[in-house]
């Protein structure tokens, strides 16, 4: 199985590559649409702001291919900004997102007694079961760095939230074979490694659709 790592100039590629090498998996760099031909699954990382990220992603020519990839029900994992880009739009800018998941990304609320950006560890609250996290598993601590959070139109795609003051923010989503984490599993120690291992196991099992 070949897993592609999308390189559009705004992803924390090295740490993601190192995390997967611990499992003996070498990720395949994806710069152009032709690089997708040999891929069975994709990872969309991201660090930075929404509009510059969409501009760079658009410049690669990959946007229509990623939309077709999702329409064809192929596995894709978003990380941090990579989660936000999956949605329709963001309050951080004016660009349209990939539109793979209905919803909008909004700035974290300023009335929760928390610093923005939210930077540090938070304990996940499992929601809808998915190959990333399941309700019967112990809650995991993951590492976050973000100022915005997704608000899915369909709450059933939430597979985990995390506390932000007195509220809960989207921490991970899952829909059919599309999943994403707002946190950085590659920087979340053993808990993050367990999550990535679950995703790899799901892929190796044939990427079955969640029941």
Whether 184 sits among the annotated catalytic residues: the reply is: yes
Whether 186 sits among the annotated catalytic residues: the reply is: yes
Nearest CA-CA partner of 43 in 181, 208, 206: 181
In a domain, 34, yes or no: yes
Distance between CA atoms of residues 29 and 23, nearest Å: 17
In a domain, 209, yes or no: no
pLDDT in tens, 82-121: 999 999 999 999 999 999 999 999 999 999 889 999 999 9
- State the catalytic residue, choosing from 70, 118, 146, 184: 184
Which structure tokens are listed for 133?
């996290």
pLDDT at 152 over 90: yes
Average pLDDT for the chain: 95
pLDDT at 135 over 80: no
- Confidence band for 211, pLDDT divided at 50, 70 and 90: confident
Distance between CA atoms of residues 146 and 67, nearest Å: 25
Whether 28 sits among the annotated catalytic residues: the reply is: no
In a domain, 210, yes or no: no
In a domain, 89, yes or no: yes
Of the chain, the percentage scoring pLDDT greater than 70 comes to: 98
pLDDT at 12: 81
Cα distances from 60 to residues 44, 56, 137, 171, 174, in angstroms, run 13, 7, 39, 28, 25
CATH code of the domain covering residue 200: 3.40.50.880
pLDDT at 136 over 90: no
Distance between CA atoms of residues 86 and 1, nearest Å: 24
In a domain, 211, yes or no: no
- Confidence band for 137, pLDDT divided at 50, 70 and 90: low
In a domain, 55, yes or no: yes
Distance between CA atoms of residues 168 and 132, nearest Å: 19
Domain interval for residue 39: 3-204
End-to-end CA, the chain: 24
- In this structure, is the dihedral angle defined by the CA atoms of residues 2, 179, 192 and 97, taken in order, positive or negative? positive
pLDDT at 210: 80
Nearest CA-CA partner of 103 in 41, 64, 157: 157
Residues paired with 5 in a beta bridge? 29, 43
Cα distances from 49 to residues 11, 64, 84, 107, 130, in angstroms, run 11, 21, 10, 12, 28
- State the catalytic residue, choosing from 70, 118, 127, 186: 186
Q: How many domains does the chain have?
A: 1
Q: What does pTM read for this prediction?
A: 0.96
Over residues 148-161, mean pLDDT: 97
- State the catalytic residue, choosing from 39, 70, 80, 92: 80
Residue 139: count other Cβ atoms within 10 Å of its Cβ.
14
Distance between CA atoms of residues 200 and 77, nearest Å: 11
């Amino acid at each position: 199985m070949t897993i592609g790592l999308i390189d559009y100039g705004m992803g924390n590629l090295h740490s993601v590559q190192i995390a997967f090498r611990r499992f003996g998996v070498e990720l395949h760099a994806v710069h152009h649409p032709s690089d997708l031909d040999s891929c069975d699954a994709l990872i969309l990382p991201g660090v930075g702001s929404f509009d510059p990220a969409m501009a760079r992603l658009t410049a690669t020519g990959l946007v229509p291919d990623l939309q077709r990839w999702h329409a064809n029900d192929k596995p894709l994992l978003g990380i941090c900004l990579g989660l936000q880009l999956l949605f329709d739009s963001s309050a951080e800018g004016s660009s349209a997102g990939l539109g793979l998941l209905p919803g909008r990304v909004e700035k974290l609320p300023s009335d929760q007694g928390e610093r923005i950006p939210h930077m540090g560890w938070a304990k996940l609250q499992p929601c809808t079961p998915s190959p990333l996290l399941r309700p019967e598993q112990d809650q995991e601590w993951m590492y976050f760095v973000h100022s915005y959070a997704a608000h899915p139109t369909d709450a059933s795609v939430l597979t985990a939230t995390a506390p932000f003051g007195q509220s809960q923010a989207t921490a991970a989503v899952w829909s059919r074979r599309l999943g994403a984490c707002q946190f950085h599993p590659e920087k979340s120690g053993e808990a993050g490694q367990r999550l990535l291992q679950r995703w790899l196991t799901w892929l190796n099992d044939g990427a079955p659709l969640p029941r």
